[in-house]
Amino acid sequence: MKTALYLRVSTQEQATTGYSITGQEEKLRAYAKAKGFGNIKVFTDAGYSGSNTKRPALELLIKEVEQGKISNILIYKLDRLSRSQKDTLYLIEEKFLKNDVPLISLSESFDTSTPFGRAMVGMLSVFAQLERENIKERMIMGREQRLKKGLWHGAGGGSGRVAGYDYKDGKLVINEYEALFVRRMFQLYVEGEGYFNIYKKLSKEMPGVIKEPSNISKLLKNPVYIGMIDYNGEIYKGIHEPIIDEHTFNTVQKLRQTRTVNRDMSITRYLLPKLLKCGYCGENMIGKTGSKKKDGTYYTYYCCYSKEIKRRKKHVDSNFSLECDSVYHTAQLVEDKVINEVMNLDSTKIIRDYETKDDDHIIYEKQIKDIDAKIEKLMNLYIDSNIDKKTLDVKYKKLEDEKHLIEKTMRDSKVDVNKEVVLKHLSNFKDIDWVDDREALKNSLHILIKDIRIYNDSMKVNFNI
């Protein structure tokens, strides 16, 4: 294997500093001789900047490192490798150390084969993170300056385009075809149409503008259509031309609030939102109101959210696949079964189960502490050069795998709700008025139950015990 000497100097540095190629090579050869490093190969990038890693000699060096041809890399100074903290750290961690090739910098007495050298890598990591944070801050400041000038922060700036406009020369310009779609969308909503019906109608009238029914809701509340720009909750005056007048936009926002309140009131009909999961695809089961009964009430069902969304899409595209096998479930029947299971719970058995799980968790926590101690001992052996990196990686991975398995077991057996809270709700459950106090009933069910998996012909209730 070879000892690599990496030399670099930019055109400007050759004229203004003492970093000549010849000078670097002489010093590095003398160091290699003193350390007993033989079989020298020189990699030279003359006239190349250190601002990036696109340098022919560096690329060849990396290739030979990955091929296992290099045993050590010597450089005169860290900035000969790169002037970017980020690139320096990347080369050391991802290219050199991963291939068990130490990097030695003569000027900084930097040697990644020693504990001090590895500590220096950690310091480089901190400075690289600081560099990234500074770049991020400059980007945010630049975006805020654009917003203050009324310029769109979307296409070309990370947030994508918005229906109704094209992005040209850094500005939003009305797309006449899509603008017709937007005006029609606002009109239909004012006329009382819901999101899905608007999507269905406009997908036929003007196909291709949006892809999902949920996009309608987002577009209707976007102030970009009245000449404003929303960024992180702050509203800025844009320089682009509005598509919708303010009166229409404000009317739609009031209607959206009213319909949201009405929808929230209807949700209280259902006791099991977020608890009830589809046994086939794992999605939430949602409440769905059907036709009106003779007594003035409505038929209510639970259906798989994923399948319901896909079923709606199938109305628009007959070739769309539904995939999930779930069917509609009568809400009253499902809720009665769940309530009966709660009523049949044995509080004495629950207390015993809690005590067993508490004991198990004490054992798990001790096992994790023991593994952490082994990992710390292993790291100390590596830092003191008593084991090599390959041995460290193998043993560390084994310990981490053991730890993750125990942590997963703890999570799976974890009780999300305090024992006293569960027992209190269980003891009060029989006293709840199931007809007139639906909110209290719903609250208790959500305290007592972790989740419910429902299939077409069966159901599994998982309690918080």
Q: Is 444 a catalytic residue?
A: no
Distances (CA, A) of 246 to 161, 187, 338, 408, 427: 22, 13, 49, 53, 55
Residue reference for tokens 């450089």: 75
In the chain, what is the greatest distance between 2 CA atoms, to the nearest angstrom?
99
Contact 206, 181 (CB under 8 A): yes
Active-site hit among 10, 82, 306, 444:
10
Give the β-pairing of 298-304 and 285-292.
antiparallel
Helices then strands, each counted (H, E), the chain: 16, 15
| Exposed/middle/buried for residue 229 (C-beta within 10 Å: 0-12, 13-18, 19+) | buried
Q: What secondary structure letter does DSSP report for 96?
A: I
Q: Which residues pair with 365 in a beta bridge?
A: none
Residue 301 Cα to chain centre, angstroms: 33
- 155-162 long-range contacts, CB within 8 A, separation 24+: 162/219, 162/222, 162/224
- CA-nearest of 303, 276, 272 to 453 is 276
Q: Which residues of 183-217 are buried (b: 16+ CB within 10 A; e: fewer)?
A: bebbebbeeebebbebbbebbeebeebbeebeebb
Q: What secondary structure letter does DSSP report for 165?
A: E
Residue 222 Cα to chain centre, angstroms: 24
Strands in 70-75's sheet, in edge-to-edge order, are 40-46, 2-9, 70-75, 103-105, 110-111
- CA-nearest of 245, 250, 256, 251 to 216 is 256
- Crossing angle of helices 347-383 and 389-413, in 10° steps, is 170
Q: What secondary structure letter does DSSP report for 269?
A: T
Catalytic residue numbers read 10
